[in-house]
Amino acid sequence: MKKKIIGLALTIAVVSALSTAAYASTYVNNEDVTSSVFTSSSNGYTLFPVRYLGEKLGCDVYWNPDDKCITVSKDDIHRDFYNGSAAVYDWEGNSYNLVTAPKLVDGNTMVPAEFYRDQFGISVIWDDVTSSLFINSENTYNWLVDTAEYKDAKKRKSQLTQDQARDRLYNAYDSTDQPYLKINDEGESSDYYYFFVLRYNDFTGYYVNWGDYKVNKNTGAVSKK
């Protein structure tokens, strides 16, 4: 039953990703935590409360109020860092750099998920098709990319838009003699956009159909219908 619920949620994610670029979901340990975790962003990375994400991933998180140092530990791996600094230190004297510096937001120390990837070997996958982040959720991600809905969404995301197809057709003509293009059929279920090519007839005062053309959504190739 749980797998069916996850599957339904991910299918909805695929559909939502097609309708709005703002859509985003976050999965941790194969669980959708989008509505239960506060996030922020920095330099293009999503930041999570270090304690929330750390404890979800089986880490211990400590705060030292004297030197304001945050320590994250799991088994024999220990990492120290400070808000505002991208530097991370282990207990052997080595230092590493985070992809973006942690920051304090509403009393929460926020870190990128990549901190756990780079320092603790946790899988972090960003999926551009659904605008979703998968943290230690490879099983859910692998299931998702094998669905028919996802494959269809990925194909459509890589295709030309109608405006891009129109530009390809315009570019097939001399820049000083541009035709008027009218969409005939978006061809949503096919690999082509179809256009009427119309030119103005000065004698009659009407546009005349000069032919039907199609533009391949995948390659951009222009050809007569």
SS3 3: helix
pLDDT at position 188 is 64
Domain boundaries, the chain: 2-158, 162-224
CA angle 165, 170, 174 (to 5 degrees): 155
Q: How is domain 2-158 classified at the architecture level of CATH? A: 2-Layer Sandwich (3.30)
User: Hey, what amino acid is at 65?
Assistant: P
Distance of CA 76 to the CA centre of its chain: 34
Global pTM exceeds 0.75: no
pLDDT at position 177 is 56
Taking CA atoms, 221 is separated from 22, 160, 163, 175, 217, in Å, by: 31, 11, 14, 18, 8
Q: DSSP secondary structure string, 23-55?
A: --EEEETTEE-TTTS--EEETTEEEEEHHHHHH
Of 45, 24, 46, 44, the closest CA to residue 35 belongs to 24
- Please list the pLDDT of the chain residue by residue as tens digits (225 residues): 444 444 545 544 544 444 433 337 999 999 999 998 989 989 989 999 999 999 999 999 999 999 999 999 999 999 999 999 999 999 999 999 999 999 999 999 999 999 999 999 999 999 999 999 999 999 999 999 999 999 988 888 888 888 888 888 888 776 555 566 667 666 567 888 888 777 777 888 887 777 788 888 888 888 887
